[in-house]
Amino acid sequence: MWRHIASNAVTMLIVLLFLAGGVVLWGRGQYQSAGPLEEAICLQVERGSNMRRVSENLEDRGAVSSGAIFRLGADYAEKTGELKAGNFLVEPGASMAEIVDVVTRGGASTCGTEVVYRIGVNRLGVQVRELDPATNRFEEQVAFEPGEEETPALYEEKKAQGDTRFRVALAEGVTSWQVVESLKAMDVLDGAVEDLPPEGSLAPDSYEVRPGDDRAEIVARMQQAQELRVAQAWQNRDEGLPIETPEELLVLASIIEKETGVAEERGQVASVFVNRLNRGMRLQTDPTVIYGVTEGRGVLGRGLRRSELRAATPWNTYVIEGLPPTPIANPGTASLQAAARPLETDYVFFVADGTGGHAFAETLEEHNRNVAVWREIEAERREQSEGN
């Protein structure tokens, strides 16, 4: 009899183990297979939260079929203790495993509200925007210029929320003075920038910041990024260029940056300046004259005067030979690359063509025809402006 009972016990144990193994396999399949979510959602994980709260939130919103399996899977993957606070975009059909990865990977929010401080060539703009999970696109909530208009209440509200992200977006072609003055106007930052960064030393890009960040440290991040970009462009430069140092590459790139806003033209503009340097011709570029007038401290806001074109400043390339002594702005990566690897052309002239781009020429005769066309366009625009 005891032998029979033992045999039945062993059989029952085997069955239980088999069932347990089946449950484990089923649970693993549930954890790794596509989830029930039909539309993307923005999942908020508050500071001090835990996997139980997150799993219950996901279950309530129909993103996971079982909060318990979600928690067990996170435990098994040893990710329960890696939960990060923030706002996270959960895509339709995301598996539990994918959601666990999203909320534990790096802590950078992927949705929700963000405040973007845009440092542009002409102004500082503040934009409050929010990601629409359904379209995966940021929708503007409010925008304003600090000091120029009343601060919107929504900005103050979002600024005070602990889950709002903040970014500083630095446009290509801004000057170092413009960057520092804009950082001063950002009321979420602390500290002072004691010395104006050298012109050209700041990398145009988008930088994540947090309330209370030190302004000088943000500037240092921009400088480190630009150093790497200049070094890479210099390393990959063409042979035989009429520039001898990375600093001269940076100067040339800054002029290219200010001469054209058309990405496809940068290589051609670079070729004009390289050809002129090779032939011993003066660069004769208006942005360098403007920098000689303003020294990067603000926007000129008017056309150049003939006296300014003739005035001797260290940056006036109608007067000086070769490159000016410093950059005239902070160039982006594309302009650095264009300076390092310009197109091979015979162009030595260019002038605006009325479309936002330029007409290039190899000879003075051809250039004069292009200039005449441009003057006709300018005259027509003046007539239209006066008529209005």
Q: Is the pLDDT of residue 10 over 50?
A: no
User: Domains in the chain: how many in total?
Assistant: 3
Do both 56 and 161 map to the same domain?
no
Is there a single domain that holds both residue 248 and residue 328? Answer: yes
64 assigned to some structural domain: yes
Q: State yes or no: pLDDT of 327 exceeds 90.
A: yes
Give residue 26's pLDDT band: very low, low, confident or very high (50, 70, 90): low
Residues 175, 243, single domain; the answer is no
**Predicted pLDDT of residue 14:** 52
**DSSP state at residue 178:** H
Would you say residue 3 lies in a domain? Answer: no
Confidence class for position 3, pLDDT limits 50, 70, 90: very low
What span, in angstroms and rounded, lies between the C-alpha atoms of 302 and 11?
94
Residue 214 dihedral angles phi and psi, to the nearest 5°:
-80, 130
- Which residue range is the domain that position 49 belongs to? 29-110
191-208 tens-digit pLDDT = 999 999 999 999 999 998
Whether 197 and 259 map to the same domain: the answer is no
Least confident stretch, 32-36, 118-122, 353-357: 32-36
Q: What is residue 24's predicted lDDT score, i.e. its pLDDT?
A: 55
Both 140 and 92 in a single domain? no
- Helices 333-340 and 266-279 pack at an angle, to 10 degrees, of 40
Between the alpha carbon of residue 159 and those of residues 67, 86, 137, 206, the distances in Å are: 33, 15, 21, 19
List the beta bridge partners of residue 360: 350
Kindly report, residue by residue over 112-129, the tens digit of the pLDDT. 788 999 999 988 999 999
Looking at 196, 230, 264, the residue that finishes a domain is 230
In a domain, 11, yes or no: no
283: pLDDT strictly greater than 90: yes
Q: Is there a domain that residue 256 lies in?
A: yes
Residues 243 and 382 in one domain: yes
Q: For residue range 149-174, what is the model confidence (pLDDT) as tens digits?
A: 788 998 998 888 777 889 999 999 99
What is the rounded CA–CA span in Å between residue 337 and residue 257?
Answer: 11
Q: Is residue 24 part of a domain?
A: no
105 and 128: one domain?
A: no
Residue 89: inside a domain, yes or no?
Answer: yes
Q: Is residue 104 located within the same domain as residue 173?
A: no
Task: Specify the pTM.
Answer: 0.79
What confidence tens digit (pLDDT) does each residue in 85-112 have?
778 888 888 888 888 888 888 656 677 7
Please report, as a single letter, which amino acid is at residue 375.
R
Domain C-terminal end among 230, 260, 275? 230
265 and 364, same domain (yes or no): yes
Domain C-terminal end among 207, 230, 253: 230
371 domain-assigned: yes
Q: Residue 148 is encoded by which pair of tokens?
A: 């120029």
- pLDDT band of 2, cuts 50, 70, 90: very low
Q: Is residue 256 located within the same domain as residue 182?
A: no
pLDDT at 12 over 70: no
Quick check: helix, strand or coil at residue 384? helix
Task: Let me know if residue 193 belongs to a domain.
Answer: yes
The pLDDT assigned to 67 comes to: 83
167 and 275 co-located in one domain: no
Is 88 in the same domain as 206? no
